[in-house]
Amino acid sequence: MAWQALGDCPFADAEEERLRAEQQREKTVAAVAEARRRQENGEVRAGIDPAFALLAAYAITLAPVTMPQLVEDVLGGDPLSPQTRRILRTQLVRLLTDEQTEEDE
């Protein structure tokens, strides 16, 4: 997705690009529906738009790879380290759920 957004997409032709984009949209629609279902089951905090929850989850999990300098500046550590990954996971869970993580206990 990042390469596609930057215009450096490896598709052979425009038709292949169109088909892959359509497939990605279908997967995204299904992922939002799954987030909505999980919200209805109490797994995702009430009051958060499921589409926003999905977008936030993607942005937070992709940030160490797509914006490593920003993650390092903000969190003060190696963006790809296990410690940084734990911080991101813990904060994402707190943001999107009512559950506590192991770090909270």
List, for residues 3-59, the tens digit of each pLDDT value: 555 556 666 677 888 888 899 999 999 999 999 999 999 999 999 999 999 999 999
The domain tally of the chain equals 1
pLDDT band at 73 (very low <50, low <70, confident <90, very high): very high
DSSP codes, 11-65? -SSHHHHHHHHHHHHHHHHHHHHHHHHHHHTTSS-TTS-HHHHHHHHHHHHHHHH
The structure's pTM equals 0.74
Domain that holds residue 92: 2-104
Evaluate if residue 2 carries a pLDDT over 80.
no
pLDDT band at 99 (very low <50, low <70, confident <90, very high): low
